[in-house]
Amino acid sequence: MKVYLETFGCQMNELDSELVRGHLHSLGYSFTGDPNDAQVILYNTCSVREQAESKAYSRIGIVGKRKAAGEELILGVLGCMAERDGIDMLRRYPQVDLLCGPGELDKLPLLIDNVRRTERISTSPRTDRAPARSVTSGDGRVALAGNKSRRSATLGAAEDSLEALDLGRAFEPREGSNDRSAYVRITRGCNKFCTYCVVPYTRGAEVHRPPDHIVEECRRLADSGVLEVTLIGQTVNHYLYVHGAAVDASGGETPQVGPGAAAFTRTGLDRLRSDGQRVTTFAELLYRIHEEVPEIKRLRFVTSYPRDFGDDILDVMAACPRICRYLHVPAQSGSNRILKLMNRGYTVEEYLEFVQRATRKLPDVCLAGDIIVGFPTETDEDFEATVQLVRSVPFKNNFIFKYSPRPGTTAIDRYPDDVPTEVKKLRNNHLLAVQSEVSTAVHRSWVGKTVEVLVEGPSKAAADAAEADAIDARSTVSAVHGSTDQQPATRVELRILGVSQGASSNGAASSPRQRGLQSDGRTAPLPAGTQLVGRTGGDLITFFDCPAGRTPESLRGTVLPILITGSASLLLQGTAVGPQGTAFGTDG
């Protein structure tokens, strides 16, 4: 059976999709990139903002029409929408055959099989423990969700069968594959309860994976050809594993519920240690991966929480050359009043203190973030404070979102969504313009320097990926300032910069090189040739000409020293210098 799997939203979902793909593949399913060619259509959905949900609903509508026309298809909705809407979605959308929340993805093959056999599952497959909820629509269709019951005990989470999904990921040799980057999850869920956010409800309690599992996963990925690993968690710097607290019957370490914010104070950690507990902090985890898996040439992590980001992490970053100087640390707002309403747990002053510390210890660090505009009660003064924050921090980019009230969150119950849509739009656009100025200055500061660029391929690939909405926060999109209308912004930016095929609608030369982007931003005609694109360790997108005598294919997945000769607000342009195309991993 052929499966079409489409992913909406964040890196977490992308990793979930990769794991689901590997699991189904091992059971004999094949995959297609064309929904019209598939017998099973799966949408891995996101509930963080309404826009992502609307997109998924529109896809569900299209499949509904196909099924109404007589096509035999299985339609599954995975991820946060499945978790949040549950049986209601089955009632409202008869075309949906199965729902599977993010905490139950290991059960997906069982659910698909159930639909194929048109049998009804009357009891939860999780007979061994409480949290899973399995409900049927009455006609055999199944909604499986689990994370709404938040686990409170360390050992409760130890039974988390999702760990098997992470551990069972496909580590195929990646010889000849373009994909040299991979995500590795270090924590699941979130305990922060920012008032606007659905994640703590859809993904459940913060659960931390054992360090040995994480290091082993990195090692196996490296063995399969992966060069760049991004550790992911909602607040990665809050990773903390207390050894011996969660073990299975054979004494092996298992995932455990996060220890809570108090553990991140010096006294909290000291208390844990003086109680004789052995702990692994995030800094120690980073160091372990750096030292034990040197084949990973780039180690990054997202997303960082501005509070409790200790000097120990910055020191490890400074000492370890293969840890990227890149920090995605969302500020969300520049107003202390709004931060308080958001329950973010830090002030603007504390955020700025963190930025100062980070830039002092890592002078070449690239900073990125997220901002929400139009949070309930946000005044012009609050918004102006956010503008000031964006102006005062050298952000290479910020994803800027218009506040979107989400069912189930504290904010929707407590604060009326009183900032008019028009005002949200104006603030969004204004902040995008300010961020564009900041990004331009940040990118310009790299002109004249030589950077190491991990080659992704010909620049056309980036354009195609953007057109297919397939680019994630790690790659080209991350250079864009972002907005709630993130993808359209991406296309516009790429088009302006000539990366998108749409740019040449008037027949004009379209790549940055063809446009002859200069350090002062003016353009000049240059002869045509092959443009390559890659990223620096700080995640700055860099375009450059393919060096003479080399092919784009031979350079993909290699690191090249690139002298930066020009810049725009979102990208760098340069020329390959020095040893050209040193295989990443053999150049020490």
323, two tokens? 């840890």
Which stretches of 216-337 are assigned E, i.e. beta strand?
228-232, 240-242, 256-257, 279-281, 298-302, 326-328
By a kind-dependent CB cut-off of 5 to 8 A, residue 200 interacts, out of ligand SAM, ligand SF4, none, with: ligand SF4
Quote the least distance from Cβ 192 to ligand SF4, whole Å: 4
Sequence-separated (6 or more) residues with CB below 8 Å from residue 34? 4
Q: Which of residues 227-246 bind ligand SF4 (CB under 6 A)?
A: 234-235
Tell which one of 63, 74, 143, 197 touches ligand SF4 (CB under 6 A): 197
CB burial readout 131-155, b (16+ within 10 A) else e: bbbbbbbeebbbbbbbbbbebeebe
Q: Which of residues 177-196 bind ligand SAM (CB under 6 A)?
A: 196
By a kind-dependent CB cut-off of 5 to 8 A, residue 193 interacts, out of ligand SAM, ligand SF4, none, with: ligand SF4
Torsion angle, CA of 440/444/445/451, rounded to 10 degrees? 120
DSSP category for residue 105:
G
Q: In what order do the strands lie in the sheet with 187-188?
A: 187-188, 207-208, 256-257
Q: Does 192 help bind ligand SF4 (rule: CB under 6 A)? A: yes
Segment contacting ligand SAM (CB under 6 A): 33-41, 237-245, 403-411, 506-514?
403-411
Tell which one of 154, 230, 254, 303 touches ligand SAM (CB under 6 A): 303
Encoded amino acid at 76, one letter: G
Q: Does 194 help bind ligand SF4 (rule: CB under 6 A)? A: yes
By a kind-dependent CB cut-off of 5 to 8 A, residue 406 interacts, out of ligand SAM, ligand SF4, none, with: ligand SAM
By a kind-dependent CB cut-off of 5 to 8 A, residue 442 interacts, out of ligand SF4, ligand SAM, none, with: none
Tell which one of 3, 5, 10, 52 touches ligand SAM (CB under 6 A): 10
Q: Does 385 help bind ligand SAM (rule: CB under 6 A)? A: no
* Maximal C-alpha separation, the chain: 70
Tell which one of 49, 67, 84, 424 touches ligand SAM (CB under 6 A): 49
Between residues 199 and 432, which has the closer beta carbon with respect to ligand SF4? Answer: 199
Q: Does 464 help bind ligand SAM (rule: CB under 6 A)? A: no
Q: Does 534 help bind ligand SAM (rule: CB under 6 A)? A: no
Closest CA to 367 of 328, 409, 323: 328
Sequence-separated (6 or more) residues with CB below 8 Å from residue 62? none
Quote the least distance from Cβ 132 to ligand SF4, whole Å: 22
Contact 120, 141 (CB under 8 A): no
Q: Does 330 help bind ligand SAM (rule: CB under 6 A)? A: yes
Quote the least distance from Cβ 200 to ligand SAM, whole Å: 10
Segment contacting ligand SF4 (CB under 6 A): 187-195, 387-395, 450-458, 475-483?
187-195
The SS3 call for residue 533 is: strand
Tell which one of 372, 438, 451, 503 touches ligand SAM (CB under 6 A): 372
Residue 534's Cα: distance from chain center in Å?
18
Nearest-angstrom CA–CA distance, 543 and 535? 9
Between residues 198 and 296, which has the closer beta carbon with respect to ligand SAM? Answer: 198
Residues linked to residue 280 through DSSP beta bridges, in sequence order? 241
* Environment class of 343 (CB within 10 Å of its CB; exposed 0-12, middle 13-18, buried 19+): middle
Torsion angle, CA of 524/527/533/536, rounded to 10 degrees? -50
Q: Which stretches of the chain bind ligand SAM, using CB under 6 A?
A: 10, 48-49, 196-197, 199, 234-235, 303, 305, 330, 332, 370, 372, 401, 403-404, 406
Q: Which stretches of the chain bind ligand SF4, using CB under 6 A?
A: 190, 192-194, 197, 199-200, 234-235
